Amino acid sequence: MGVFVLDGGFLTTIQDLGRWGFQKDGVSVGGVMDAFASRLANFLVGNDESEAVLEMTMIGPTLRFEMEAVVAVCGGEFSCQLNDQRAPLWQPLSVKPGDVLSIGPCHHGYRGYIAFSGGLQVPLVLSSRSTYIKAAIGGLNGRPLRKGDVLPLQPPRRVPMRRFDWGIAYRARSYIYGGEKIVRAIAGPEHHMFTAESVQRFFTTAYEVTTQSDRMGYRLRGAELKRHTDREMLSEAVAFGTVQVPTSGEPIVLMADRQTTGGYPRIAQVLSVDLPILAQARPGDRIRFQKVSWQEAERLYIEREHEMRQWKAVIQQKWRDTGGTN
C-alpha cells in the first residue's frame, strides 16, 4: 500500500530536515533545500514538520495512489494536475486509490515538495530518511526516484475525503518570484582576508547562478573578489549558506549537500531565513547579497520561527473545523 511512481521527473528524491549529528564523522547533513516549503507542506497534511517528503527539481514526478491519503504540494510554481484536472498548490488535496497526481515543469522558482499524510516510511539511515546521492544512502537506495518505484506510506489517521478550500496565503510564498533575488548575509570569519573594495563589491553587486550549481553548492559568476594576502588557511567548519571564495575569485554558496569542512576563506554567511530564496534560484537567476548584523540575523530567525508556529496553529484549527483528527 502506497504510491506507485509512473514517472520520476527530472530529479526527485526523498528528503527530510537532515542527517544531524554526524558532521564530526564527515557525513553531510543534507536534507531539504527549502525547509520553509517542506515544513509547511507537512503541516498542511497533518504531519510533524520533520516527516520525509519528496523534493522535486525543475520537473516533477507522476504518481498513482494505491490508498486514501492527503497530500500537499509546496515550493516553486509547478504545473500540478490531479486526474487531468488542475490542482492547487500550497493547500491539502484529498486523493483516493487510483488517483494520479502529475507534477509538470516549474514556471517560477526551482524546487517543490510533496508531503503525504502519515509520511513516507523508508528506512532511517543515521537517523534520517534523506537521500544523499553522492554516498548512495537514504531514501530509496540512495538514488532519485524512477519509473516503477513504490513509495510506502504510513497509513494516515482518518481524514475527511472532501475538497479542502484553504491553504497558505500568497504573501507567505512570494519569495519564489522575482528576477533578481535579495539574500541577506553577515560577514564571514575570513572577510578580513579580502580587500576592502572586494568586500564592498560582494555586498553591492549582483551575481549570476551558473549551470555548475547543484545541491552541494551554487557557483556564482560576477565581480572577482581579491584577497590582500596569499596566506593559506586550515580547513574549517562550514554550514548551509556559507559563502566561500576559491582562487578564481568567484564565490560559491554551500547548500544542503555541502561538505563538512572547507579550506577556502569564508567571506559571508547567508541568513537561515533566506536560504529558501537561494533554494528556489535557478541557473541564470541573479543574486544580490545584502549585509546585516548578527543581531538582525538572530531577530529574523526568531521572527520566522514565531511565524511558523502561527501557521501550524492555524492549520491545526482548520483541520479540526473540517472534521479531521489533526
Inform me whether the pLDDT recorded for 53 exceeds 70: yes
Domains delineated in the chain: 2-176 (no CATH), 180-292 (2.40.100.10)
- Rounded CA-CA distance 19/127 in Å is 6
pLDDT at 295: 97
Tens digits of residue pLDDT in 110-155:
999 999 999 999 999 999 999 999 999 999 999 999 999 999 998 7
**What distance in Å separates the CA atoms of residue 276 and residue 204, rounded to the nearest whole number?**
21
The CA-based angle 64-67-73, given to 5 degrees, is 60
Q: Given 3-state DSSP classes, what are the helix, strand and coil percentages for the chain, each rounded to the nearest 5?
A: 20, 35, 45
Distance (Å, whole) CA 95 – CA 114: 13
pLDDT digits (tens, 9 = 90+) for 215-243: 999 999 999 999 988 777 888 999 999 99
Alpha-carbon gap, residue 50 to 42, rounded angstroms: 8
* 80 contacts 89 by C-beta, under 8 angstroms: yes
Whether the predicted pLDDT of 158 surpasses 70: no
Q: Please tell me whether residue 177 adopts helix, strand or coil conformation.
A: coil
CA dihedral (151, 157, 160, 161) in degrees, to 10, reads 20
Q: Specify the pTM.
A: 0.95
DSSP assignment letter at 153: B
pLDDT of residue 131: 98
What pairing do the DSSP bridges indicate for beta strands 85-86 and 252-254?
unpaired
Q: What is the pLDDT of residue 178?
A: 78
What pLDDT, on the 0 to 100 scale, is given for residue 92? Answer: 95
Q: Cβ neighbours of residue 174 under 8 Å, at least 6 residues apart?
A: none
pLDDT digits (tens, 9 = 90+) for 69-86: 999 999 999 999 999 999
- List b or e across 30-58, with b for residues whose CB sees 16 or more CB atoms inside 10 angstroms: bbbbbbbbbbbbbbbbbbebbbbbbbbbb
For residue 102, the Cα-to-chain-centroid distance in whole angstroms is 20
In what helix (H) or strand (E) does residue 291 lie, and over which residues does it extend?
strand 286-291
Contact 46, 117 (CB under 8 A): yes
C-alpha cell recorded at residue 89:
498548490
Mean pLDDT of 85-104: 96
Per DSSP, helices labelled H in the chain are: 35-44, 196-202, 275-279, 294-321
